[in-house]
Structure 1
Amino acid sequence: MEAIISIIIQLVAGAVGGNGLGAAARNLSLGTTGNTIAGAIGGVGGTWLASLVPALAELLGGAGTGMDAGALVGQGVSGLVGGGILTAIVAAVRKATAK
């Protein structure tokens, strides 16, 4: 059960990060659906990457290590950042290949 809650937090935070980036940087927007999908995937991936770096995972409250409030906040933050980063990467690649 706690794994499902963690993944939901990562997906939602990533989607928010992707849409936030799309709203802030219009030239990197993939549209609402694209921002949401890329952000959600980036949210899960960003949290996974953060959990691979022990110092970063500890800084973010033990991202991916359990169900306490610190870990959930860490997963949310890393998901938000990961979602924004992946959305920017996908948008930049899409823009570069469209030329």
Structure 2
Amino acid sequence: MHWLWAIIVGFVLGLIARAVLPGRQHQPIWLSTLFGIAGAILGNAVAGWIGVEDTKGIDWIRHLLQLVGAVVIVGLGDMVYMALRGNRRRTA
């Protein structure tokens, strides 16, 4: 069941990251979901490093770190995706 939550959280974080980033992102939604999952993993790791991975109540700091991780990875991932695709822009 953990894999299902990882996909759901990754999807939501990927969508939020795409909405936060300026301009248009060119990667497909499934790739944004994978980047969101990676961002959540990165955010959890950083939360563990600074000692806030598990608190009483809602872990707001951990969730914020997951979102920041997703924004960074979606932004970098879009640049890599466009570089691998030959920087062809779609007109739609």
Q: TM-score, normalised by structure 2?
A: 0.65
Count of aligned pairs: 81
Alpha-carbon separation, structure 1, partners of 2:25 and 2:34: 14
Identity, % of aligned positions: 19
Structure with the higher fraction of residues in helix conformation: 1
The structure number with the bigger radius of gyration is: 2
Alpha-carbon separation, structure 2, partners of 1:82 and 1:88: 10
- CA positional deviation for 1:38: 0.9
Alpha-carbon separation, structure 1, partners of 2:46 and 2:30: 24
Q: Which runs of 4+ in 1 moved over 6 A?
A: none
- CA positional deviation for 1:49: 2.5
For structure 2, the residue ranges without an aligned partner over 5 or more in a row are 87-92
Q: TM-score, normalised by structure 1?
A: 0.62
The answer for the alignment partner of 1:27 in structure 2 is: 24
The answer for the alignment partner of 1:44 in structure 2 is: 41
For residues 27-85 of structure 1, what are the alpha-carbon distances to aligned partners after superposition, in whole Å with 9 as ceiling and x for unaligned?
32422221112111111112213432x3xx5xxxx2x1x24125x11111111111121
For structure 1, the residue ranges without an aligned partner over 5 or more in a row are none
The answer for the alignment partner of 1:68 in structure 2 is: 56
* Larger RCO of the pair (alpha carbons < 8 Å, separation 6+): 1
RMSD after superposition: 2.6
- Contact map agreement 1:15 1:43 (CA 8 A) in 2: no
